[in-house]
Amino acid sequence: MITFIVRRLIAAIFLLVVVSLITFVIFFLVPRLAGQNSYQLATQYVGRNPTPSAVHAVEVKLGFNEPLYVQYGRFLKGIVLGAHYSNGPSTTFCPPPCFGYSFRTQQPVWPQMMSDAPVTVSIAAGAAVLWLIGGVSIGVLSALRRGSFFDRLSMGTALAGVSLPVFFTGLIALELFSYKWTLFPNVQYVAITSNPLLWARNLVLPWIVLAFLYAALYARLTRAGMLETMGEDYIRTARAKGLAERKVIVKHGLRAALTPIVTIFGLDLGLLLGGAILTEVTFSMQGLGNFTVQAIQNQDLPEIMGVTMLAAFFIVIANMLVDIVYAVVDPRVRY
Amino acid sequence: MRKPRQLGLAAFAAVAALVLAACGSGGGGSSTSSSSSGATTSTSYGAANTSVVNPSAKKGGTLTFGISNTPDSTDPGNTYYAFMWNFTRLYGESLVTYKSCPGACGNTIVPGLATSLGQVGDKGLTWTYHLRSGVKFSDGTPVTSQDVKYAVERTYAKSVLPNGPSYFQVLLTDPKYPGPYKDKTKDKMGLTSVTTPDATTIVFHLAKPFSDFNYVVAIPQTDPVPPSKDTGANYQLNPVSTGPYKFQSYQLNKTLTLVPNTNWNPADDTEAKQLASKIVVSMNVNANDIDNRLMANDLDIDLAGTGVQAAARAKILASPSLKQSSDDALSGFLWFYYLNTKVKPLNNLACRQAVEYAANKVNLQTAFGGPIAGGDIGSTVMPPNILGYQKFDLYEATTKPTGDVAKAKAALKTCGQPNGFSTNVAYRSDRPKEVAAAQALQQALSQVGIKVTLQGYLSGKYYTNFAGDPTYVHGHNLGISAGGWAADWPDGYGFLDEIANGNAIAPAGNTNIEELNDPAVNALFAKAANTSSVTAKNAIWAQIDHDMMSQATILPIVYAKSLLYRNPNVTNVYVDSYYGMYNYAVLGVK
């Protein structure tokens, strides 16, 4: 198992370098190939009607006049060793991992991302708990009561959950519960360290809206897995041996049905930790998702690189953890 | 089985009814409000355009702003958005400022930090300002003329502070000054074109006379900055204040909190007020969420000041109670098309005139949102709120707003294109109004045989790479380009110079996209720079406007308007004519 983890970590580092290279090529090289020169690129980061000397100063400051391989090399070096940046009167050291300074705000990217990360983690983690408990429970009950009213209602609701996008259910939730009935007024992120109750209250709507979408998927997945598993011979054997029904369902049925759930859960959580974009934009929460949207809208390349790398990191780590948990859940799997 | 199906249908109907009831309601929140003292204030639609709504000297409370994106910078020396020039007056005071009053008087320049407007000397080459004595920064240290000079020096450091305008570099005698961060002089006062003979006097030395210089120093770039407290690119996080408020905390791109500046003297700054106990700005709030919070009284003002979104607009205009808390404000913007004077066959005046006559201005106005959300049909380059504006209409924009096909065809004959011609139209594809307008223009021009191909570009690169790059424009036959413009200051120079002066044509980021380089027009700009009489200057601006329109270089669409919503709990609300939005420097809460 230790060898497996070390091998996966090495592969993860290699994968992140590849992701950084692809992202760099997309955002730095492709515009050049499309005919954009460094002067034109610099004009985007200066105010209206700049003088040529102002554009040139920005061009030099942001390194656009340097060869692309130099710019990429500087970026990688910053991640590993950090970098020095001038803010005018003084020079500051940006410690590793340094993803550079925002072209727009001239503030370091990493602290900005770390400042936004708790919002995304709060939304993703809370929704994950809800959708896992809710989705799996409903899936199990539906499978056990196949064909019943409960089964049809829950699967019908699951279909609605899968079909309705977050920006629709989120806006409906805000309209009803925040603006009209004021059960959740002024939904905005409050740090858990500042006011845990307000933190939770303001996250209830985003949690429910996001969990509604995923719970639907998990309910259907769990139901399908349980139906398949509960029809197996060993389940019949377990019942014939006189085991309690609850033990049959949980220890033998659900455990076997969980393996695809675990895989999907890891991927979903990893993706969400990189930014629940639609949820954050709908509820105006400044997390990594909103950070990503603004970085793209502002063409802020260091921010785009930073958030892409961070999102890739979460997915890679999530995948690795899923594989480890897989070995725990399924005794047949060994590394 | 029928029962479960009936129950399911009933449940669905109940949910649908709930949703429809919520969506169909007239909006939340009270339409008339009671102040804490119990008095009610009735308002009417548009009242804030010409009068102060809820006048009050009441102190206390928290004034909340929301904005759907983030400012380019909170550093007064590094921002170029109108709403920030408005907002920074809460924590900074420039040498001169705009009078805080509703209506056209809001365009009047009055002394700010200085005791009077600039004293002109040396045949227009020096402008002298005397600072009021006793003015202090928020940390209690006195403000001196050197602090103002240092603030001006910072505007030269474009590699560190790239956002603000570059007027000082262009107008003063020392354009090659490298900025204070590369200044090798002992006290970082190396800018020779600004001198400070004593602690309360500052003299600007111009390369050429420029009679609008008072407007230049009204820009927040003259808000004083103490050199010892300057942190360059980080100054935006906590600038030292000379206004009624100071920074308490700022989480970049998230929340800004201002609290009263105890070292501010109301007598020092009569155009701002210190009423609320706290001001909070929430950034990156979804635009529709802002509107809903405004209508639910959870938010006081939309900081961007560009009007509510389409969904809220429909709600507000349909509800008498919401409508009376809204104002259809002239924003100071003109939306228009540039008609390029170099791209064939539009290089022929008569061909450009054909476009002027053929365009259906009503459809273009509708594309921009109609009379309320879009604005009034324009017939001049300068909007009505610009000093020097004169009403005229050379192409029947207001008398035959659906277009004059006969005159358009006659113009086509004159320009040697009796069957029409082909050209391309550039517009910003991520702006729905410009998309709709381009389609309306295409349809109207096709009636007279002018075939236009629509070329959409993302707004982020529109001026830098496409419409604002003359080489690209010529190479891609972009005869017509969409544009929008507002003045840096409310007279003809502030509005017209960058879009009409020949020396404004640039290889990238060009805003004189029609590439007008008329010696007569250029000479008028030079003449105005040497003219101190406001009446004479206004006549020059009107002349330039007339020349531009007679040369058919611009096809005006609308004098833009914004539907602004004011929370009934906010006091002293009125539309500021210069900023085209509510005056943020005087607001309070009930």
ipTM of the complex in this document: 0.84
Residue B190: other Cβ atoms inside 10 A: 17
What is the location of CATH 3.40.190.10 in chain B?
A: 31-282+566-589
Q: In B38-56, which positions are buried (b, 16+ CB within 10 angstroms) versus exposed (e)? A: eeebebebbbbbeebbbeb
What distance in Å separates the CA atoms of residue A165 and residue A279, rounded to the nearest whole number?
10
B232·A281 Cβ contact <8 A: no
**β-pair type (B255-260, B245-251):** antiparallel
For the cut 90, the answer to whether the pLDDT of residue A317 exceeds it is: no
Question: Cα distance from A68 to chain B (closest Cα, Å)?
Answer: 20
Tell me, what amino acid is at A226? M
How far CA A103 is from CA of A62, A299, B552, in Å, comes to: 7, 9, 39
B158·A46 Cβ contact <8 A: yes
CA angle B232, B234, B240 (to 5 degrees): 85
CA angle A95, A96, A101 (to 5 degrees): 70
Looking at chain B, which residue has its C-alpha nearest residue A62? B159
A54·B165 Cβ contact <8 A: no
What does the CA dihedral A276, A277, A281, A287 come to, rounded to 10 degrees? 60
Which comes out higher in pLDDT, residue A34 or B87? B87
B508·A297 Cβ contact <8 A: no
Average pLDDT over residues A82-108: 89
What distance in Å separates the CA atoms of residue A291 and residue B481, rounded to the nearest whole number?
32
Question: Cα distance from B440 to chain A (closest Cα, Å)?
Answer: 27
Q: Report the residue of B158, B228, B252 to disrupt the A interface, i.e. the one with the largest count of A CBs within 10 Å.
A: B158
For the cut 90, the answer to whether the pLDDT of residue B269 exceeds it is: no
Question: Cα distance from A204 to chain B (closest Cα, Å)?
Answer: 17
Confidence at residue A55, expressed as pLDDT on a 0 to 100 scale: 87
A-chain residues within 8 Å CB-CB of B164? 47
Contact B134, B203 (CB under 8 A): no
Closest CA to B95 of B76, B80, B72, B115: B115
Question: Cα distance from B275 to chain A (closest Cα, Å)?
Answer: 24
Of the partner residues B159, B165, B166, the one whose CB lies closest to the CB of residue A58? B159
B-chain residues within 8 Å CB-CB of A182? 28, 296
For the cut 90, the answer to whether the pLDDT of residue B94 exceeds it is: yes
A-chain residues within 8 Å CB-CB of B180? 88-89
The residue count of chain B comes to 590
Chain A to chain B Cβ contacts (< 8 Å)? 166
Tell me, what amino acid is at B304? A
Percent of chain B exceeding pLDDT 90 equals 86
The conformation of residue B504, written as its DSSP 8-state character, comes to G
Q: Report the residue of A46, A169, A193 to disrupt the B interface, i.e. the one with the largest count of B CBs within 10 Å.
A: A46
pLDDT band at B215 (very low <50, low <70, confident <90, very high): very high
pLDDT band at B542 (very low <50, low <70, confident <90, very high): very high
Tell me, what amino acid is at B309? Q
Of the partner residues B4, B28, B284, the one whose CB lies closest to the CB of residue A284? B284
Domains, chain A, in order of start with CATH, read 2-108 (no CATH), 110-329 (1.10.3720.10)
Percent of chain A exceeding pLDDT 70 equals 98
Confidence at residue A334, expressed as pLDDT on a 0 to 100 scale: 64
At B484, is the secondary structure helix, strand, or coil?
strand
Confidence at residue A335, expressed as pLDDT on a 0 to 100 scale: 61
Phi, psi (rounded to 5 degrees) for A11: -65, -35
Average pLDDT over residues A165-184: 90
B-chain residues within 8 Å CB-CB of A178? 292, 296
Question: Cα distance from A99 to chain B (closest Cα, Å)?
Answer: 17
DSSP B60-116: -SEEEEE-SS--S-SSGGG---HHHHHHGGGT---SEEE---SBGGGG-EEESSBSS
Of the partner residues A55, A149, A281, the one whose CB lies closest to the CB of residue B286? A281
The residue with tokens 């720079």 is B529
Phi, psi (rounded to 5 degrees) for B427: -155, 170
Bridge partners for B258 per DSSP: B247, B279
Instruction: Please name the residues in contact with B180: beta carbons below 8 A apart, sequence gap of 6 or more.
Output: A88, A89, B150, B153, B154, B156, B157, B188, B190, B227, B230
Question: Cα distance from B232 to chain A (closest Cα, Å)?
Answer: 5
Confidence at residue B65, expressed as pLDDT on a 0 to 100 scale: 98
Percent of chain B exceeding pLDDT 70 equals 93
Average pLDDT over residues A131-160: 88
Q: Report the residue of B431, B461, B463, B499 to disrupt the A interface, i.e. the one with the largest count of A CBs within 10 Å.
A: B461
What distance in Å separates the CA atoms of residue B55 and residue B57, rounded to the nearest whole number?
7
pLDDT band at B12 (very low <50, low <70, confident <90, very high): very low
Class of domain B31-282+566-589: alpha beta
Contact B271, B110 (CB under 8 A): yes
Tokens of B171: 């107008």
A105·B252 Cβ contact <8 A: yes
What distance in Å separates the CA atoms of residue B229 and residue B246, rounded to the nearest whole number?
14
Tokens of A178: 């925040």
Q: In chain B, positions 454-493, which contact chain A (CB-CB < 8 Å)?
A: 460-461, 463-465, 469
Closest CA to B561 of B433, B401, B389, B425: B433
Average pLDDT over residues B277-281: 98
How far CA B389 is from CA of A230, A290, B335, B379, B540, in Å, comes to: 82, 42, 16, 11, 10
Confidence at residue A260, expressed as pLDDT on a 0 to 100 scale: 83
Q: Which of B123-137, B234-248, B459-473 has the lowest mean pLDDT?
A: B459-473
Confidence at residue B35, expressed as pLDDT on a 0 to 100 scale: 36
B282·A172 Cβ contact <8 A: no
Any chain A CB within 8 A of the CB of B232?
yes
The residue with tokens 């017939």 is B379
A48·B231 Cβ contact <8 A: no
Contact A300, A251 (CB under 8 A): no
Any chain A CB within 8 A of the CB of B30?
no
Closest CA to A109 of A120, A123, A117, A98: A98
pLDDT band at B232 (very low <50, low <70, confident <90, very high): very high
Tell me, what amino acid is at B208? K
Looking at chain A, which residue has its C-alpha nearest residue B290? A284
Contact B22, A176 (CB under 8 A): yes
B284·A45 Cβ contact <8 A: no
Instruction: Burial-class residue B424 by CB neighbours within 10 Å (0-12, 13-18, 19+).
Output: middle
The residue with tokens 């709908």 is A282
Closest CA to A124 of A294, A314, A304, A306: A314
Contact B244, B70 (CB under 8 A): no
Tokens of B88: 């920074």
Q: Report the residue of B289, B496, B499 to disrupt the A interface, i.e. the one with the largest count of A CBs within 10 Å.
A: B289
Contact A272, A120 (CB under 8 A): yes
What is the location of CATH 3.10.105.10 in chain B?
A: 330-562
Domain B330-562, CATH homologous superfamily name and number: Dipeptide-binding Protein; Domain 3 (3.10.105.10)
Looking at chain B, which residue has its C-alpha nearest residue A181? B28
What distance in Å separates the CA atoms of residue B565 and residue B307, rounded to the nearest whole number?
7
Of the partner residues A45, A52, A87, the one whose CB lies closest to the CB of residue B231? A87
Of the partner residues B23, B234, B253, the one whose CB lies closest to the CB of residue A87? B234
